[in-house]
């Protein structure tokens, strides 16, 4: 099936730079979606003539891009804002902006607790940041968040982006989420799922490739449902599998990753597109969350442990050399010893290459926060340790099987601990440290010599 390019790109008005030479600082909390939003905010600031500050002391404009998924997100925000107030008392012309999920959810609280903030804006308003800053400078503090009436036309494609990496880029394909996992605040703060037009996405990837980018990560809360809202004739719509294939045709893009698919929605067509598209990496992040059918129902995840394992096996059987990773929550309300054993059993059966593991903590505003049966923190902590031990053993065993093999790696940059060693990544998303100096964005072949749970050590194959 061919995908459909719908409509014209949303048009964005360009403006004459008005803040030449002023310095900006963007602090980001949270996920890749927030990191990417911050890159786009940085791009808009640069388009307005601003340059990056070296720190708080020389920043004229400071933006905090907030997250409310992580624990204590609000303490962190108000701690930061308290420190900034002291600086703003001395330099009243310094502008403070608060963006992102917490701003969207708690705009009145941010305003009440930190009246010295100049601009508060929501998750879909980032393209308006300069207009809001203008308004605040002219008229005083301003707040703008989105409401449910938003559509794709309110979200312009092609915003300038200040990327952290020259060779690797995130590309948003959907925003928001139509699911209702009971532990998750995302649908509340990022709204219903909206797909970007296929043509806009491919245009952005082509421009990135022309700019020297060799690796893209397609971003969405649930990438498998990409295009559901782009149907024409009530049925024809682009599918995520089509998006992978079309992106794989773009010259210069050597690696394509995506995050995250939802286990209930991933189907064979995506795995087949992965296997048949050379640039799509052999890497799948499939969030399990729990191995208990009862807890998965309480989480409203839409699959059973058996169904999850079937999907995983399906993908592994279709994509040769597939590496897998997952997310797991320990201590969800009502989780019994038996439920937790279910999680250990699925982890042992799945044998993920890696896992992001969390102890449940309630997020205000979610249904799970009001559920009965919160697990004693000591019990949750002990379960967490057992889970981490099991996954560490599996990861080490899987990494160990790579010793003696030769793999293609893409250099990220010098290792943080030792500048005479570079950090690179395999197609399967494993970190490899190799002695030597190569520029970020360079590909080379490395022979794996040692394995640890968090990384591999190798040497360049000449």
- Give me the residues that bind ligand SF4 (CB under 6 A), please: 177, 179, 181, 184, 186-187, 221-222, 262
Nearer to ligand SF4, 68 or 186 (CB): 186
Q: In angstroms, give the least distance from the CB of 180 to ligand SF4.
A: 6
Can you tell me whether residue 317 is helix, strand or coil? helix
Least separation in angstroms between CB 219 and ligand SF4 = 12
Half-sphere exposure of 387 (CA within 13 A, CB side): 32
Residue 237 or 262 having the CB closest to ligand SF4: 262
Report, in Å, the least distance between residue 338 CB and ligand SF4: 24
CB of 385 vs ligand SF4, minimal distance in Å: 24
Residue 334 CB, shortest distance to ligand SF4, in Å, is 18
**C-beta of 260 vs 426, nearer to ligand SF4:** 260
In the complex, minimum distance from the CB of residue 287 to ligand SF4, in angstroms, rounded to a whole number = 7
Q: Which two tokens stand for residue 70?
A: 């992580």
**How far is it, in rounded angstroms, from Cα 426 to Cα 298?**
37
H/E stretch holding 424 reads strand 421-426
User: In this structure, are residues 48 and 14 in contact, taking their beta carbons and an 8 Å threshold?
Assistant: no
Nearest CA among 68, 64, 61 for reference residue 104: 68
Name which of 143 and 224 has its Cβ closer to ligand SF4. Answer: 224
Counting other chains too, the contacts that 444-447 makes at CB distance below 8 Å and 24 or more residues apart are 444/408, 444/409, 444/411, 445/406, 445/407, 445/408, 445/409, 446/406, 446/407, 446/408, 446/409, 447/404, 447/405, 447/406
Instruction: Report the alpha-carbon distance of residue 152 to residue 208 in Å, rounded.
Output: 22
Q: For residues 6 and 359, which CB has a smaller minimum distance to ligand SF4 in the complex?
A: 359
Smallest distance, Å, CB 236 to ligand SF4? 25
**Residue 219 burial (CB < 10 Å; 0-12/13-18/19+)?**
buried
Q: Which is nearer to ligand SF4, 61 or 296 (CB)?
A: 296
- Whether the ω angle into residue 396 lies within 30 degrees of 0, i.e. cis, is no
3-class secondary-structure state, position 71: coil
Q: Is 411 strand, coil or helix? A: strand
Which is nearer to ligand SF4, 3 or 221 (by Cβ)?
221
């Amino acid at each position: 099936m061919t995908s459909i390019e719908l409509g014209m790109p949303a048009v964005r008005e360009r403006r004459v730079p008005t803040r030449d030479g002023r310095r900006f600082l963007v602090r980001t909390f949270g996920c890749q979606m927030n990191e990417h939003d911050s890159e786009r905010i940085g791009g808009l600031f640069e388009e307005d003539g601003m340059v990056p500050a070296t720190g708080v002391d020389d920043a004229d404009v400071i933006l905090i891009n907030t997250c409310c998924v992580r624990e204590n997100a609000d303490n962190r925000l108000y701690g930061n804002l308290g420190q900034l107030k002291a600086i703003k008392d001395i330099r009243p012309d310094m502008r403070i902006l608060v963006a992102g999920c917490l701003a969207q959810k708690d705009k009145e609280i941010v305003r009440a607790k930190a009246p010295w903030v100049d601009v508060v804006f929501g998750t879909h308003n980032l393209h308006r940041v300069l207009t809001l800053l203008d308004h605040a400078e002219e008229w005083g503090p301003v707040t703008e968040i989105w409401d449910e009436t938003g559509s794709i036309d309110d979200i312009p494609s092609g915003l300038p982006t200040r990327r952290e990496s020259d060779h690797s880029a995130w590309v948003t394909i959907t925003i928001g989420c139509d699911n209702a996992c009971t532990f998750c605040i995302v649908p509340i703060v990022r709204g219903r799922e909206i797909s970007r037009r296929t043509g806009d996405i491919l245009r952005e990837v082509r421009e990135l490739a022309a700019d020297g980018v060799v690796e893209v990560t397609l971003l969405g809360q649930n990438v498998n449902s990409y295009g559901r809202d782009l149907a024409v004739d009530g049925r024809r719509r682009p599918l995520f599998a089509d998006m992978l294939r079309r992106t794989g045709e773009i010259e210069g893009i050597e690696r394509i990753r995506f995050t995250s698919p939802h286990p209930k929605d991933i189907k064979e067509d995506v795995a087949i597109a992965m296997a048949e598209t050379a640039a799509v990496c052999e890497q799948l992040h499939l969030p399990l969350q729990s191995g208990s059918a009862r807890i998965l129902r309480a989480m409203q995840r839409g699959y059973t442990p058996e169904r999850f394992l079937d999907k995983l096996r399906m993908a592994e059987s279709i994509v040769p050399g597939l590496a897998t990773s997952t997310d797991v929550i320990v201590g969800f309300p009502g989780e019994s010893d038996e439920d937790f054993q279910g999680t250990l059993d699925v982890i042992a059966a799945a044998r993920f290459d890696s896992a992001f593991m969390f102890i449940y903590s309630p997020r205000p505003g979610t249904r799970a926060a009001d559920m009965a049966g919160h697990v004693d923190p000591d019990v949750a902590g002990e379960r967490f340790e057992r889970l981490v031990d099991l996954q560490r053993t599996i990861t080490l065993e899987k990494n160990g099987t790579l010793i003696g093999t030769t793999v293609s790696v893409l250099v990220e940059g010098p290792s943080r601990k030792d500048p005479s060693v570079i950090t690179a990544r395999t197609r399967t998303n494993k970190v490899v440290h190799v002695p030597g100096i190569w520029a970020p964005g360079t590909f080379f072949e490395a022979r794996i010599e040692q394995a640890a749970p968090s990384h591999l050590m190798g040497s360049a194959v000449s």
